[in-house]
Structure formats: C-alpha cells, structure tokens
Amino acid sequence: MTASIEGETSDSTQEPAVEPLAAPAPSVPAPDFNDASLYINRELSQLQFNIRVLDQALDESMPLLERLKFLLIFSGNMDEFFEIRVAGLKDQIDFGHELIGPDRLAPKQSLAAISEIAHRHIERQYSILNERILPELAEHGIRIVRRNHWTHKQKLWVRRYFRHEVAPLITPIGLDPTHPFPLLVNKSLNFIVQLEGVDAFGRDSGLAIVPAPRVLPRIMRMPDEVCEGGDNYVLLSSIIHAHADELFAGMTVHGCYQFRLTRNADLTIDQEDIDDLAHALRGELYSRRFGDAVRLEVADNCPRDLIDYLLKQFGLREADVYEVNGPVNLTRLFGIIDSKTYPQLQFKPFTPSIPKILAKVEDPFAVIGKHDLLLLHPYESFSPVVDLLRRAAKDPQVLSIKQTLYRSGANSVIVDALVDAARAGKEVTAVVELRARFDEESNLSLAARLQQAGAVVIYGVVGVKTHAKLMLIQRREGRDLVRYAHLGTGNYHTGNARLYTDYSLLTSDQVLCEDLHKLFSQLTGMGKVQRMKKLLHAPFTLKKTLLDLIAGEAAIAAAGRPAQIIAKVNALTDAKVIAALCKASRAGVKIDLIVRGMCCLRPGIPGISQNIRVRSIVGRFLEHSRAYWFANDGEDKLYLASADLMERNLDRRIETGFPVESKKLRLRVKKELDMYLADNSSAWILQADGAYQRLQPSSNQNVRNVQQQLLDKLAASTGSIEVGSVG
C-alpha cells in the first residue's frame, strides 16, 4: 500500500525510474533554505510512519499472526503519538507558547491535520481487523467469539467466570452529587452505563461508570470443553457487557458502552528546582497516569448524548473523539499472538550466529585485543557482549567496569553481571538515564539494585539525557592497564537485541578507549569539555563533525569529482542538517537516506534536493541502527552512532559517534547499506510531495528484501562475523 502525507492510500507501485544525478546549472539562483516548502511537518511525518506500519497488516506475503501484530503495533504507536506528540501540541496552545518549526505549520494547524488523518486510518484499522484479519484467523481455528455467537455452554462458562473472577473485583460508581465523575487512569478500559430505576437510597441519576479491573486479562481463552475445536477467545469487555445488569441489582440497564481515555504521559520536571532527580521522578510517574486528557475512544454504538457527556467531563472537543467498531484497547490482543500452537502463522524462528572467532575460546579479551569485532543484531547474537561483561565480572584481572544504561530492564542479565562485579569488589560505575521515556520505573529499580550491590550509580547530567551506549572495562595485564570497550547503536536490552537492528563494536583500540574514559569522567565528574581524538560526542562535536563531513562532500562535488553520502537513521528533523544536505545536493553530491520514521527533508525538489533519495524500511525487525558513510574522495569514512539526526539528539543529549577504521569492516557496512538501497519489497520511497510509495519488484526483477537477505547471510551460522585490525 502507499501512504501519503495526507493519509491517502493506493496500490503499491513499481520502483520509479531514477533520474541521472547532476548539479544544477550555475545560473540557478541560490534557494532560500528557510523556505517552509522545503520541509515536512514533524508530527505529520511521524504519523505517516505509523500508517506504514498499519499497511503491513495488508501484506499477504507475511504470516497472518504477524499481520495482526503490525495492526496492534499501530495501536501502540498511536497511543504514544497522542500521549506525547498530540499532548505536546495541546500544551503549547494552552500555555500560549506555540513553537513553529521550519515547515511553518502552527500547532492548531498540525492538530487539525492530525485529527483528519488519524480518524481516517483508525477507522481503516478496524475495517482491516474486522473484514480481513479476524475472518482469516477464524479459517485457521482462531476465533474471538462475540456475545451474540456464544453457545449455551459458553454462556454458562462466561457467567461462572464473571461471578467468580470479575464481579468480586469490580467497583461500579453511580454518578450523583456524592459520587462525582471518577478520575480514570490513562488508557484504562471503562464503561458508561445507562440506568433506570431508584436504588435503595432513593438515587436515580441514570448513569454509572464501571472501571474494568486492571488486574484481569483483557482476553481469555475459553476451555476446550465448551468449544468445538480451535482456540476460542472471549474479551473481558464482552463479559462485562453481558452481565452489566448484575452489577446494579434491581435497576434496569438500558445500555453499556466501553470507552478509553488517553492522557498526556510526558513527564515534566523543573530541572532548576530539584535536589534529587530520582525522588522527583518517582513523584512524576504517578502523575503520568492522570495527565490531561487528549483523546477519547468510545464504542461506535454509544449514543450521541453520552459521547457529549464524556467529552464535557474530560474537557475535550469533537475532534478528539474516536468512535471505533471493536475493542477500544486493541493492544491487549497481543495475547493471541503469544500462542505457540500456530507456528505456520508466524515468522520462522531463527538462531542468531555466534562469531566463529569467539565460539570456542575461553578468553574473549585475547580475541578483542587482536581484532575489532563488528556485530549486526539481531542476525548476529548479542551474547558476545553479555559474555564479555560476565567474564569481566568474574575475571580477577579486571579492575573496573563503567557502563551507560538507557533501556535494559531491572532484571536483565546485563544488570545481573554488573551486580556480580560490584559484589566481587570491582569498581563498577553505572550511568543510568532515569528519563528514558516509559522505562523510568524500570530504571529506578535497576539503579536501586546496583546501589545495593555497591556500584556507583550516576544519573547523568540534569537537562541532558545520556543516550550513548558504552561499556568500558579496565584490566590489569602484567604491568599494563589495558582497556576494552563495547560501543553500540542500540540499548543494553537483550530482548530488544532480538527485535531491533543495531550494530555493536567490540574493541581494544586504546585511543578510542581513552576517549571513552574521558567521556565517563565528564559524565561522573565536573570539568571543561575534553578533547577526544576519535570519538564524536554530542552535544559538543558530533553535529559539527557531521556538518563538516557533509560540507566536505559538497566541496568535492563542486570540484567535479564523484561525491556520495549514505546515512541510515531512525529520524531526520534537524533543520541545519537538512539545509546542509540540500546544499550538498545542489553541489551534485549523490545522497541516499534510509530513514525509518520521521523525515522532515523533502527530496526531489529541482535545484535543491533533486540528488537526494529517501527510503523507509518497514519489516520484521525494527530498523534502529545509525550509520553515516561518506565517500570522502576515495578515502571513505564511516561512523556508527547512538544518535539520530534530530535536534534533541545532536543538541540536548549525550550521544556518541564512533569511527569504523578497519577497511574490511567499512566495506562490510557499505555492502549492507547497499543492500538496503537495493530493497524492492519492504522499502517505501519518499516523494517530493510528501507521499510515500511502496516499491514492488517488476515481473523481471528478483524480490529483494534486505532483512531476509541479512537473515540468510548472517543468522544461524558461524564464521559470518567480520573482524578488523585494531588501529
């Protein structure tokens, strides 16, 4: 499917013909790089990525349960989009502090466009679910059985379940002067109930609210003895609907309608007025559940007067209500996907490869001391990184371990190894970023675990998130103190390492390790910015160096020599970087951008960005790695990084970009980037008008899917790892 910036969809297209790349004629006047028409709105671009995810649910080349998964991921993405992006725009309007981006779209205009697009595609999501996914699941024996299809046996089972498991936990709230409208938790399942009659106390308000118990699953598998084969599921919402009258003895229930409220979930901490970040964050985590309302989802059969009543209670407008034909909390259907009984409806499992050079050695330090090792997850295993840390925790020659933790999980094997190292008496320093969005509570827990074990825990720098992915091990070898490092583009989360594409570099390059040591000292201590020889670090040298490298390619092209840039990132929004890329394009630099999500650069504009091509890869794995490759007049340069090309990453975060200096490793990454650029089945091409077109191979082309190609090339095998000499 094709998704445009206006949200329209059309059939997939074949790869468009590529025009020859050439610099514009010298007589063309220099453009105004502040012109709003050169930029795509950030929020609308993010919304378009979510739509590309939804479109995977229609891709019949994928297994059926995986298509359902993409449909549910769309729901989760939209939840966060409203909780953060829409909520942020509303805050700007409410506080009279409207920020206008380079696209010059005001927050009110953005909200209007978002509402129109989101309404259309959320309606389309439910149509895909009801008309495509659920019928196809039923053909395979997987059914969500609706109330009007329950058999007598199923009705009896549901009634028992309701009376024994549900009713004891429900607290219905009748609305009257002594029972005002309750404060409802963010994204919780609730019901508004129309009643008739007078209760034991003479009350007859006619309305009640029933919050669904949060401790209960939202979808349950009915036992085989009440079904006729297959896996038959029932929704908690259906169970409550069917027995709402039992919650209001002696009253008549005229209607019961589910609804769900999305609230502002962004945390706001006054960084100039806190003494203890962890303490302040704990207080803010509670408020996240009860932030300002931003969206109301309600069953599409809910009467208009009840919808208006709910909107008034939450202070929302008509544009904020989404009437849906199905469960208001679709993400809870992930319980179906977890089923192990339908492997044919899911992606074929794979085993990440272990580098042959490490597979049978007892001492990984000896290997890394001779070679830089580069891993591409999830095709290649994350276990060498974990094993190195575990070995360091037990090795009596290891003196200290320093590590940044952004997302890892409080009970992860990474944290376990750091705890073991601290208990073994090693100097363990963990820079824990507490403000990793939606992982704050987990990070508070892991910080407490590490502190209890005796590790030094630092919360980074107030006002600047620590987003770099670094590990530094210092080991006594004879008379020398030797350092070993891991630098990554992803997080120290072993679960994500099976789902996200990311690079890991294992090295003992002592110059690079010294740079890491300086960076850790800068994070834990105080002092001026230290000069580093190889490592790029935001907010100080990363952006400047990238801009210099882009300008360098432009100068090479202006001199009439071949020039090329390939960048792979999650997002491109920084206006200065966009302007620099457009200037390089005007000079004749061939620029290929692989941008998974938001891209505010408008490619293909004659005389400005006609030499820039932008593609987004959406597939089985979440594309997460960041790579910056420059032809550099025949002496190519490659940096891998934790940072995207966004203002927040380049200007307001601790990020790193690290060079890949081995020619063999650079060639490997370049070949992999070329595979992304050759993909013709999971790639979406951004057009000058802001529309994305999904590529399809023509009749005489082979199907090229980069993720499958990398699985075939790297996974479930040994010997695929690339090594390079240290230096």
Peptide bond into 539 cis (omega under 30): yes
Q: Which residues touch 334 (CB under 8 Å, ≥6 apart)?
A: 69, 72
| Complete domains list, the chain, with CATH | 80-345 (3.30.1840.10), 356-534 (3.30.870.10)
Enumerate residues 6+ apart whose C-beta is below 8 A from 98. Answer: 92, 106, 107, 108
Tell me the β-bridge partners of 658: 640
What percent of the chain clears pLDDT 70, i.e. is strictly above it?
89
pLDDT at res. 528: 82
Q: What is the mean pLDDT of residues 692-710?
A: 93
User: Which pLDDT score, from 0 to 100, does residue 266 have?
Assistant: 75
> How much is the pLDDT for 291?
79
Q: What is the pLDDT at residue 628?
A: 98
Contact 76, 187 (CB under 8 A): no
Provide the annotated binding site for ATP: 77, 500, 596, 624
On the question of pLDDT at 399 being above 90, the answer is yes
**Cα distance between residue 489 and residue 658, in whole Å:** 10
> Residues comprising the binding site for Mg(2+)?
407, 437
- What pTM did the predictor assign? 0.90
| Alpha-carbon radius of gyration of the chain | 28
Helix/strand/coil for 353: strand
Nearest by Cα to 352 from 502, 508, 569, 568: 502
pLDDT surpassing 80 at residue 495: yes
**Is it the case that residue 281 has pLDDT exceeding 80?**
no
Catalytic site positions: 467
Q: Where are the alpha helices (DSSP H) in 194-330?
A: 236-242, 277-288, 304-314
Q: What is the pLDDT of residues 67-97, one digit of tens each?
A: 999 999 999 999 999 999 999 999 899 888 8
For residue 593, report the phi and psi dihedrals to the nearest 5 degrees. Answer: -115, 125
Q: Which range in 2-16, 255-269, 433-447, 506-520 is most confidently predicted, on average pLDDT?
A: 506-520
- Average of per-residue pLDDT values in the chain: 89
